[in-house]
Amino acid sequence: MLKPLLLVLPLLFANVVGAAEVDKLKEQLAQTLPGVTIENLQKIDSLGLYEGVINGEVLYFSADGQYAMQGELVSMATRTNLTEQRRVSLRQSILKGLDEKDMIIFEPEKTEHTLTVFTDIDCVYCRKMHSEIEQYKELGIRIRYMAYPRGGIGSESYDDAVTVWCDKDRLDAMTRAKRGEELEPKTCDNPVEAEFNTGRQLGVSGTPAIFMESGQLLPGYVPPERLKAILDETSDQS
């Protein structure tokens, strides 16, 4: 009876020590970075580093909390970008938690792939993408639009997004706005600011920003046939 217990005790002790180290580092970072929330702090085995997430961005900390590093951590053995792998995992988690009622969704007759697209009403390539929305739908691609006014909160592009999201027929308003029609300004209780902040959390820096269900990001416009090929290939690999 003692042998199995003796085998388990070192593992339990290691877990306790690891948790204590993380808690100690959290306290240190709270003093160094007051008001900043460190998410998902965890030790990276054998490296002496701790991985933390701040506003969706992955950073690495020394055990004493005196140093922080930002960049790509790559496994030389497998040539795997561990940082991007972690980003994709975080994005996937955020995307799964989104409420579709606040999105503007263009539905195909039969859905093969679902994409979440952060869009700006006025950006040239967002308009190019939307001009081909029927082609995406014919290929079974479901587009879930979220607002990302590039000018930021309170800008003209923000007001344009609010007008579209406040229209009784959001799909029609989106299409007309993307064609360059000037819509009558509207205001209401709307999700534009929240969606903009979600985009920032996901690392959006330009539009259109296309997210696959896996959490992978395709930055910029991708033609319908090419996009379908990418999605099919990604699905085959999963």
Which token pair is 141? 């691609």
Catalytic-labelled residue, pool 87, 91, 127, 150: 150
Could you give the count of Cα atoms lying within 13 Å of 29 in the half-sphere of its Cβ? 24
Q: What is the DSSP letter of 232?
A: H
> 222 with 234: CB under 8 angstroms?
no
Q: How far apart are CA 79 and CA 106, in angstroms?
A: 38
Catalytic-labelled residue, pool 87, 91, 122, 123: 123
Catalytic site includes residue 126: yes
The H-or-E segment that residue 17 falls in is helix 2-32
Catalytic-labelled residue, pool 87, 91, 126, 167: 126
According to DSSP, the β-strands at 141-147 and 113-119 are parallel
Neighbours of 67 (CB within 10 A): 10
Q: How far apart are CA 23 and CA 197, in angstroms?
A: 29
> 103-133 burial string, b = 16+ CB within 10 Å, else e?
bbebebeeeebbbbbbbbbbbeebbebbeeb
Catalytic-labelled residue, pool 87, 120, 122, 160: 120
Catalytic site includes residue 120: yes
Q: Which residues contact 131 (CB under 8 A, 6 or more apart)?
A: 178, 179
Which token pair is 137? 């739908």
Neighbours of 148 (CB within 10 A): 30
> 136 with 107: CB under 8 angstroms?
no
| Residues designated as active site | 120, 123, 126, 150
